[in-house]
Amino acid sequence: MSAYSLSVSYTGLDLVNGFNWYNGSDLSNGFVSYQSREDALAKDLWSVDSSTGAVTLRVDDTNVYAADGSEGKRPSIRIESIQAVERGLIIGDFAHMPGSVCGSWPAFWMYGPDWPDNGELDIIEGANTAQVNLISAHTLEGCTLPASGDFTGTQGSTDCTSPGNNGNIGCNYVPPSTDTSSYGDSFNAIGGGIYAVEWTDDTIKVWHFPRNAIPVDIVLKVPDPSGWGEPEALFGGSTCDVDTFFNDMSIVLTMDLCGDYAGNVWGVTDTCDTSTGSDTCVEWVAGHPEALANVFWEINSIDVYTKPESASSSSAAVSSTSSAAHSTRSGLFANSSTSSGSLSTSAAAASSTPVGLTSAPISGSASLTSTAPTTSGTGVPDRDPLTVGDFVYLGCFGSSSSYPTFNEASTSNSMTVETCVSLCASNRYAGVFDTTCYCADSLDPATSALADQDQCNTPCPGNPAEYCGGLASVSTSQAANATGGASSNSSESSLISRLLRRDAPNSILLTVYGNVAAIQPVPPPAPGLGAGGEDTTTVTATNLITLTTTVTYTTVCATNPASLETRTYATIVVVEDCGCAHQTYPAVAMATVVQACAACGASGESSVTLTVPSGLVAVGAAAVTETGAAGVAAAGATATGAVVVVGGGTAAANASVPVATATGTAGTGVVVAGAPGMGKEIAGVLAAGTFVLGLALLL
């Protein structure tokens, strides 16, 4: 049974509204111009998938800039959670992360105020063409990694002091060799996955679960780390007092370019200088926007759990940190109920805040769709093997430069993925299209993984159950949009001769595998993300309203599936006080699901259609039945694979979804008003019970 309950769930517009959008200068000296939420939306740098709630964050991949910065730097995004975390369980579910692209420096991390006094934890981080993740910590002097313990990763630097005798690299781990999809292209090729952090009084542990190996308790939102096995990284214990070195950490997502990491290792631990023909990272990033098309995050959710016994104290700590450290505006207001009550953030508090943080309200008419790439389905390849010997599936690749580093190894009417990898055993990369296998030892920057893996859909001649490359769609492939030809030997492909006699050869796509250990055995250590020069950007203090919203909904009884029961769902949200006579709040959202039961319907049906809080629905999960005191999931869920999870937790709503009428004894669904906030979408259905809107001050 899980000891954790859901405290906050960020997904969809709740993620957008629950994070501050930093628009100050980059403290890590990157070639980026971080955008406010409003400016990022105007530049089409973020979008929300209306069907899944996934949020896409991307860098500008359209404009050319002067390398000296005289025309500005490349627009990008850095967001930080309004609510800080003080112990608990943080689970990030990513469908896609920035690819293994020259110039890219993405990170999913956490840090406390007054860096490095309250610590920094880098959960996902890498630079340029990295295929292996780096998990790091940065602290004041006195924290080191344990000499031994229950962890599977490999330690690098063991002194976490930053800055320290080892510079600003802190302490770090790399995943075990058995984790073949921890970062970049290899992570994206299997549809991403989950990174989970458990932060207790004694230790901080980090796990990675690829998309095809996510524990069912995480899917059902009743996580139990005791059953996950050893973590990849372990901080704390007798060599590092966690309570001393890590406190009140905000959750951060960044997409930096060049800077103190990617810029400094350019051409030193990778071949980006020779492959791009650019001596410096900035020169390349400034002048080649098309090379950054795969630099984007697609975030399914970021969930924060707390233990019941510490929920009250943790919540108070979180609220206090939020009010003092993040004086922001929160938006997406729509007509709903009104309330009063506010928290005045003092000028003194504002002066001590992390600077550059803004969160402008979204206009109700703003478009939430864009051309940002998306992934389809679960993303887990259902045909090609994830590994072949030492080689790892890296995805479906396109090229606008004729795949200059790939050389033909063989052509065979019985070609398979395994055959091609075997032919390229002495190389770093193997790429196959139809009957032809190509090998390479490096990738040029115009040859990269596509966001849509499904474009590689050509059956292998020797094994139709596998895919050997495909044909690019000129309208959807960045590679196909650019000029240039394909492999010089592409005319030998039988599929090309049948279908592409009039098409440009760059329409060839390769199914690519890579020897990750040979590409980059160990990633170089990274500098602390919280370090840097002084930023003089300021933010304006505003009044915030803290709302506690409680709704009731109907679901199948956890202990008696022949009956229905009413449960309560609550959330704490923070909104800006508009100072007007009639405060407005966003419309709530709900999900319509089918739950199996034991003849609980009005006429004895074995299933009922219910409208429940969206925060309790695990989208894309397999149909699983799990019964226990903490939660129940219904088998035979809706066509989208939604699974209803019954249990405690909080969430919030700021998107509108049509209300569906429940059948059976559930009665008619009644939607109640909510407020925007830091959690997952919440919808209330009143079959019986009341809606309570409480006010609380962040103290």
- CA of 668: how far to CAs of 561, 612, 673, in Å? 20, 12, 16
Which DSSP state fits 191?
A: T
One of 80, 125, 232, 681 is an active-site residue; which one? 125
Distance CA 141, CA 162 (A): 7
Length of the chain: 699
Give burial (CB, 10 Å; 0-12/13-18/19+) of 693: middle
Upstream peptide bond of 381 is cis (omega within 30 degrees of 0): no
Q: Cα dist. 590→53, 135, 507 in Å?
A: 12, 36, 43
Whether 31 contacts 60, CB under 8 Å: no
Q: List the catalytic residue out of 38, 120, 298, 418.
A: 120
Residue 188 zone, left/alpha/beta (φ > 0; ψ -120 to 50; rest): alpha
Q: Residue 690 in contact with residue 559, Cβ under 8 Å?
A: no
Q: What are the helix (H) ranges across 162-280?
A: 184-189, 216-219, 242-245, 272-276
Rounded to whole angstroms, how far apart are CA atoms 272 and 281? Answer: 8
H helix intervals, 278-326: 281-287, 308-325
Q: Is 626 a catalytic residue?
A: no
The encoded tokens of residue 610 equal 């219910």
Peptide bond into 106 cis (omega under 30): no
Is 120 tagged catalytic? Answer: yes
Measure the N-to-C terminal CA separation of the chain; round to a whole number of Å: 33
Three-class secondary structure of residue 311 per DSSP: helix
Contact 121, 110 (CB under 8 A): yes
How would you class 604 by CB atoms within 10 Å of its CB: exposed for 0-12, middle for 13-18, buried for 19 or more? exposed
User: Cα Rg for the chain, rounded, in angstroms?
Assistant: 25
- Give the active site residues: 120, 125
